[in-house]
Amino acid sequence: MKISDKIIKEVFTSKAFVWTFSFLIAVLITVVSIRFVDGITEVKHGNTIINRKVQ
């Protein structure tokens, strides 16, 4: 077995890889939900501006 193959196998089976992977997914989910909430807030602000113009 080549050294590079051994390293790759160890990385993919190690807990460090699993932790890194789940951490990245968690960060991604957090960023997406923050963007989503910001989008909702912007829509609400847009609606209030429209309502004021109507009045």
Domain contains 44: yes
pLDDT digits (tens, 9 = 90+) for 7-52: 777 777 778 778 888 899 999 999 998 888 877 777 777 766 666 6
pLDDT at 2: 85
In a domain, 47, yes or no: yes
Model pLDDT, residue 30: 93
Q: Would 5 be classed as within a structural domain? A: no
Is the residue at 2 inside a domain?
A: no
pLDDT at res. 24: 93
In a domain, 14, yes or no: no
pLDDT band at 53 (very low <50, low <70, confident <90, very high): low
3-state SS string for the chain: CCHHHHHHHHHHHCHHHHHHHHHHHHHHHHHHHHHHHHHHHHHHHHHHHHHHHHC
Q: The domain containing residue 45 runs over which residues?
A: 25-55
Count of domains in the chain?
A: 1
**33 falls within a domain:** yes
pLDDT at 1 over 80: no
